[in-house]
Structure 1
Amino acid sequence: MDVEEEESKTASCASEVPENDDEVLAEPDVVETGEDQPDTESDDDDVLYQINDIGPYFSKNGAVQWSRFPLDTGKTRSVNKMTGEGGVTPHARSRVMDMPDCIDLFLTSAIKELIVLHTNEEGNRRYGKTEWVPFDVVELDAFLGMLLLQGVHMDGTVPVSELWSEGEGKKIYKACMSRKRFAQITCSLRFDDKSTREKRVELDKMTHVREFFEMWSLSLRTNYLPYESACVDEQLFPFKGRCGFKQYIPTKPRSKYGLKLFLLCCCRTSYCCNIQLYTGKPVGGKPEKNQGKRVVLDLVDYLGDDSGRNVTTDNFFTSLALGEALLKKNISLIGTIRKSRPEIPSAFLPSKYSEVHSSLFGHTSDFTLVSYVPKKGKAVTLLSSMHLDA
């Protein structure tokens, strides 16, 4: 279902929720701001010296020496030879006979039973056992089907009352359940045990949906493996409700508020193979160091230590340390890299001496670094452990 349609549907259903509802979230609304780091400018005198020099380039911290010439023959290494197969796993293929089976691969019986259990707990608490009719898996399937139909028919922005109206409503909604029952389920839908939440939320901001989310991400990994190339990136899932780890990223073009997700996707099919939800800094804690490296290693961990795949990242994640860690897993890395990284030589930074459309290459035994000048005063820097020749 489209994100904006789902948001509008939720907003229209909000009129059914009592004003004194204490269940929006157990913690106050908190918004963290994410910002892109500015490019680092170079010392032009240092750049001119390094460009004219015939020796190797040295990183800003002096720890890395980049040769001006390739140190490898250019032959494909074992790190670029994929082992195993990509695509739909045997586990998934053996369990699919029709279309409903495809949905059940991801919304497993364990996930549905979890939702039914805790939704019944909340329904009894909210409406009482006399008014609340026990919720079951069959009704959950009907409820989820109605949400999908609202997306198909572009009904996400239509008030719930109109969906059941005699004139403009659709018969399929009435055939599934009454408007009152739909509102009850919408208000009571839960994914955890509220009686133990207070203690758990002190250690985990995501405790409201943690168990469900982990089961869901396991389904993503179990049913599909990426082909030879995968990519890791972040996505801001639009959301403006109350949440303890909501993000504000002013550089995002579509929606600046939302929940930040880290995704591992197959480059061939765009399938999301693994996922992490960013819950922000710990209470009273400091920002996480080397977060980009940690996220990538977490997301690719399930691929094993000898997959031979390649991972593409953007400059938030890419670093020499990440590339070295991935090589230990027989995974190569390609990605743009921030010019503020200490492993970057000064000559690879933007400079008035750099010619437009020119490139500089640096090589080690395992990596190639390239700085390309698309226009005056700008440089795009990339790091690769897949390509060792210029």
Structure 2
Amino acid sequence: MLQDSETVADITVVPESEMHAHDTDCDSDQSDDEATGDHNRLPSRILKEEGFLPNSDMQLPNPPDDDPGCSSSVSQTETRKVSGTNENVTSQIVGPMLHKTKNQDRKFKKIKIAAKAPAQANKKYQIPRYVPKEHDPGFTSDDPVDIFLTFYPKSLRDVTLEMSNLYAEQKGKTLNLTEDELLTFYGILLISGYNTVPRRRLLWSDDCDVSNNAVKDAMRRNRFDEIMSSVHLVDNMKITADPFFKVRPLFKHLNDINNAIPIAEHVAVDEMMIEYFGRHGCKQFIRGKPICFGYKIWSLASSSGFVHQMEPYVGSHTHLVETGLGQGPSVVLGLAEKAEVPPGVKFYHDNLFTTLSLVDEMTLRGYGSCGTMRQTQLHNVPFTAPQTFKKTPRGDAEHLVEAEKLIVRWNDNSVVTVVSNMEREFTETEAKRWNKQKRTMDKVRQPKCIQDYNTHMGGVDLHDQFVSRYRVNIRSKKWWWPCFSWALNKHSTYGKDLLSFQRLVAQTLLLRHGTKPSRQGRRSSMAVAITDATRFDNLNHWPCNTGSRYKRCKNCGGRTSFACGKCDVPLHVECFKKYHTE
């Protein structure tokens, strides 16, 4: 029990980031449960962590003089010492704690007739009008190669060159990587996305079934292997506590370029997955996703699939501000802040992110907000219970109004609840659904806010679909390689025809920046390798005079103008029988 004289303060405890893989499906679309905990039964790992006051103006009472174990000051942020370095790294970015209103303190109204439009009802809750910005002249090119090089900027390429040469030097090797070689390296990786072979070295093979002349004429195989073993983005001697420090420059440069593109009017917040099956503390498992295992990336994308902002999820080291509203709302607000989203933009998010407090804060910032809600977020909201509402006819809906928000519950294949601050007027449209009993397509009533959500929510999933079409097929054992190759595919998805776009980019990079290797040593007498099954089948092998200049006999190495008509192998007539039988 608190006494009247005691001071009430909220203390935030930030545990150290986990070093083991996370195995959870609580944020999947199929999950309707929210992770909760008992504050009276916290594990020792959390109890031993330091805490801080979210409000710097709040002061704790001074401890009594006879209690040496108490301290009158509390650390504003938690820092921990990185193993192997002398650097203290902040493990959590904490901003001002936002006000969170409980559901029992809200006033929900059931309305039977359509309310007035927001502009006529209450100007306080109006969302500003969206004003599109003009495109930067540097981003108006329609050439696929220019588009690719714009989104994979020279600043990032320069960092890659510098760090790759430095890494090779630290390993006692001389790489001398040039920009032309790096761009050729990118082109070969892109080719592997649509011209796949089971082993990357087969791209340089002379066998007719896997040979690729474009790759062979652009870079030697051994040089490609040298670059792949040394390519880096950071100095390995400057390790930080960030689990993603090796690819942090990659995301920073890509976000800087994306921020130069005007934000679309309708954007979606969701998580992307970069496929990875190895061992890493940030690897996630999300049940029900097309990619279940890999790195999770918080993303802000337009309805067309263009990603405006992305941030890797790395636990307490995620570079997004903690707002006190929970992880989901903090992600939405953090991405909007980092992308510098102007007022008037409309956000769409699923039940992982949506809370009533988030919609309140989005309204204060001038953003539209629409998202599905979990049942665990609807305590004390006077809706019909989902089990009862499911028994109503398909297409039935009920709706409530609370301040600027319209909350709608609709019966479809399952009961879905949507909250929106973009309209207080409840309107309905029609949607087509399959009737199993009649085996026909029937029209059912559908709330307009749900139709808008379905129209604009799929931007991140659409981008994932584009990337997965022709994903880089060359693999590496390095944990950060999936992020590196994913970034190449990410900026090869902006063409109307994805395959033509990626092919044109890859071909142009090889032709412009590739260097045709000069052959060394004696010229080979065979253009195609002959299998043993063909060589020893004793069918239609006849010596023929090629009529060309002398070539080296495959059996003895001497000069000859004769060859096997079937195998196309230079052979003396005397060596013919021995070659085809031994």
Larger CA deviation: 160-169 vs 70-79: 70-79
Of 310, 316, 320, 1:275 maps to: 310
Secondary structure at the residue paired with 1:371? strand
Contact 1:308/1:330 (8 A) holds in 2? yes
- Mapped to 1, the partners of 2:362 and 2:214 lie a distance apart of 51
Residue equivalent to 2:365: 329
Secondary structure at the residue paired with 1:194? coil
> 1:319/1:148 Cα in 2 relative to 1: closer, same or farther (>3 Å)?
same
- Mapped to 2, the partners of 1:360 and 1:63 lie a distance apart of 21
Secondary structure at the residue paired with 2:272? strand
1:142 maps to 2:142: no
Contact 1:64/1:343 (8 A) holds in 2? no
Of 129, 133, 147, 1:85 maps to: 133
Contact 1:304/1:329 (8 A) holds in 2? no
Residue equivalent to 2:147: 102
One-letter identity of the residue aligned with 2:21: V
Of 352, 357, 360, 2:388 maps to: 352
Of 326, 337, 346, 1:310 maps to: 346
Unaligned 5+ runs, structure 2: 1-16, 34-100, 427-582
Q: Which has the higher contact order (CA 8 A, sep 6+)?
A: 1
Q: TM-score, normalised by structure 1?
A: 0.76
Secondary structure at the residue paired with 1:151? helix
- Mapped to 2, the partners of 1:347 and 1:115 lie a distance apart of 56
Contact 2:132/2:262 (8 A) holds in 1? no
1:36 Cα deviation after fit:
2.9
Secondary structure at the residue paired with 2:354? coil
Residue equivalent to 1:45: none
1:91 Cα deviation after fit:
5.0
One-letter identity of the residue aligned with 2:411: V
Matches within 5 A, 1:1-390: 30-36=20-26, 39=32, 61-69=103-111, 73-75=116-118, 78-79=126-127, 81-85=129-133, 89-93=135-139, 96=141, 98-126=143-171, 128-129=172-173, 132-153=174-195, 155=196, 157-167=197-207, 168-197=210-239, 200=240, 202=241, 204-222=242-260, 224-252=261-289, 254-267=290-303, 269-281=304-316, 290-302=326-338, 304=340, 306-342=342-378, 345-352=381-388, 355-357=392-394, 358-374=396-412, 378-390=414-426
Q: Deviations over 1:123-163 (max 9, x none)?
A: 2233x34xx3300211111100111122232x2x4312211
- Mapped to 2, the partners of 1:28 and 1:244 lie a distance apart of 7
- Mapped to 1, the partners of 2:335 and 2:268 lie a distance apart of 10
1:71 Cα deviation after fit:
8.9
One-letter identity of the residue aligned with 2:132: G
1:346 Cα deviation after fit:
4.7
Contact 1:348/1:381 (8 A) holds in 2? no
Residue equivalent to 2:552: none
- Mapped to 1, the partners of 2:176 and 2:105 lie a distance apart of 65
1:348 Cα deviation after fit:
4.3
One-letter identity of the residue aligned with 1:240: F
Larger CA deviation: 326-335 vs 242-251: 242-251
- Mapped to 1, the partners of 2:235 and 2:152 lie a distance apart of 19
- Mapped to 2, the partners of 1:272 and 1:364 lie a distance apart of 32
Greater Rg, structure 1 or structure 2?
2
- Mapped to 1, the partners of 2:339 and 2:114 lie a distance apart of 29
> 1:240/1:28 Cα in 2 relative to 1: closer, same or farther (>3 Å)?
farther
Residue equivalent to 2:484: none
- Mapped to 2, the partners of 1:305 and 1:172 lie a distance apart of 43
- Mapped to 2, the partners of 1:242 and 1:281 lie a distance apart of 19
Secondary structure at the residue paired with 1:79? coil
- Mapped to 1, the partners of 2:160 and 2:387 lie a distance apart of 57
Secondary structure at the residue paired with 1:206? coil
> 1:60/1:320 Cα in 2 relative to 1: closer, same or farther (>3 Å)?
closer
One-letter identity of the residue aligned with 2:153: T
> 1:348/1:189 Cα in 2 relative to 1: closer, same or farther (>3 Å)?
farther
Secondary structure at the residue paired with 1:196? coil
- Mapped to 2, the partners of 1:230 and 1:248 lie a distance apart of 25
1:382 Cα deviation after fit:
0.5
> 1:125/1:303 Cα in 2 relative to 1: closer, same or farther (>3 Å)?
closer
Percent pairwise identity: 21
- Mapped to 2, the partners of 1:104 and 1:39 lie a distance apart of 42
Contact 1:261/1:276 (8 A) holds in 2? yes
Contact 2:370/2:420 (8 A) holds in 1? yes
Equivalent pairs, count: 326
C-alpha RMSD of the superposition: 2.9
Secondary structure at the residue paired with 2:149? helix
- Mapped to 2, the partners of 1:278 and 1:364 lie a distance apart of 33
Secondary structure at the residue paired with 2:215? helix
One-letter identity of the residue aligned with 1:116: L
Q: Deviations over 1:314-339 (max 9, x none)?
A: 00011111111111221111110111
> 1:34/1:170 Cα in 2 relative to 1: closer, same or farther (>3 Å)?
same
1:209 Cα deviation after fit:
1.2
Contact 2:267/2:347 (8 A) holds in 1? yes
